[in-house]
Amino acid sequence: MKKVKIDDIGANNFNQIIQTRGFVKSISAKKISMKIAVYRCIMCGIIIKKEMEWGDPFGKIQSPKSCIPTSSGGCGGSGKEIELSRHECEYEDFRTIVISDNQGYSLKLIQTGESQSLEIGQEIIVETEIKCNFKKNNWIGELYGICKKISVDVNEHVIGTRNSPKRHNPHHIAMIIQTLQKENGEYASMEGIIQKARKMKISEAEVDDCIRRLKEGGSIFSPRFNEYAWI
């Protein structure tokens, strides 16, 4: 399996399964998507099933243009007599996960089925199939990935860099600060940062060091004592 950094993912990877890694930037709430569409012919009552194109929530379902031939049990009627039976369709859960690297490049991932527990700022290794959300009547779109496997083993060198990012990379703390700002609507307190950092096995000393480096780099500022905000 090819190992690709987020900022190197492009057209050459379209429809391929690759391995990449990044920090969890955001996780959506669970949603549902149609997996198999069920159509009924109102003339003969025959059922026609269509699977989601590409097998993901951003894919498309091609509606039947006609009923199946009489030789196969249908009536051969036109597509006007075919109706979508929503209560008979099959659905599945999915959520979107956005991961980013140290340079700020990001990739949206679609995870279907059972969702494992992830934390904002956590570094993950992903095996994903690269797809593109093409806009209607336009062959231009955004690349995204369909998750095949997610691993949180941050000690594994996947991309091939000599210095693989460690748990106390400042990016983790930056993501924690952004999350707390969204939750609290204003600033991230030092107490809140430390609480979330402990869950990621980041010590208070490492938190202090990361905050210092983020302030020096101009990424965050401190409006009040022991409170921080993303710039």
Per-residue pLDDT band for 127 (boundaries 50, 70, 90) equals very high
Q: Which residue has the higher pLDDT, 194 or 119?
A: 194
Distance CA 207, CA 197 (A): 7
Strands 90-100 and 31-41: antiparallel
User: Are the CB atoms for 50 and 141 separated by under 8 Å?
Assistant: no
Question: Does 161 have pLDDT greater than 50?
Answer: no
Q: Which residue has the higher pLDDT, 91 or 160?
A: 91
- The pLDDT, as a whole number, for residue 158 is 39
Question: Does 216 have pLDDT greater than 50?
Answer: yes
Domains in the chain: ranges and CATH: 1-159 (2.40.50.140), 170-230 (1.10.10.10)
How much of the chain exceeds pLDDT 70, in percent? 87
Per-residue pLDDT band for 136 (boundaries 50, 70, 90) equals low
User: Are the CB atoms for 126 and 145 separated by under 8 Å?
Assistant: yes
List C-alpha distances in Å: 182 to 25, 96, 159, 187, 213. 12, 18, 31, 9, 22
Question: Does 13 have pLDDT greater than 90?
Answer: yes
Backbone angles phi, psi at 219, to 5 degrees: -85, -30
Summarize pLDDT for 62-104 with one digit per residue, the tens.
788 899 898 888 898 887 889 999 999 998 899 999 998 877 7
Distance CA 95, CA 101 (A): 20
- The pLDDT, as a whole number, for residue 159 is 39
Strands 2-3 and 47-51: unpaired
**H or E element: which one contains 197?**
helix 190-199
Q: Which of 53-57, 88-92, 172-176, 221-225 has the lowest mean pLDDT?
A: 53-57
Per-residue pLDDT band for 168 (boundaries 50, 70, 90) equals low
Distance CA 109, CA 71 (A): 43
Distance CA 225, CA 231 (A): 17
Q: Which residues contact 66 (CB under 8 A, 6 or more apart)?
A: 76, 77, 78, 79, 82
Most confident of 75-79, 109-113, 168-172: 109-113
Residue with tokens 């025959």: 46
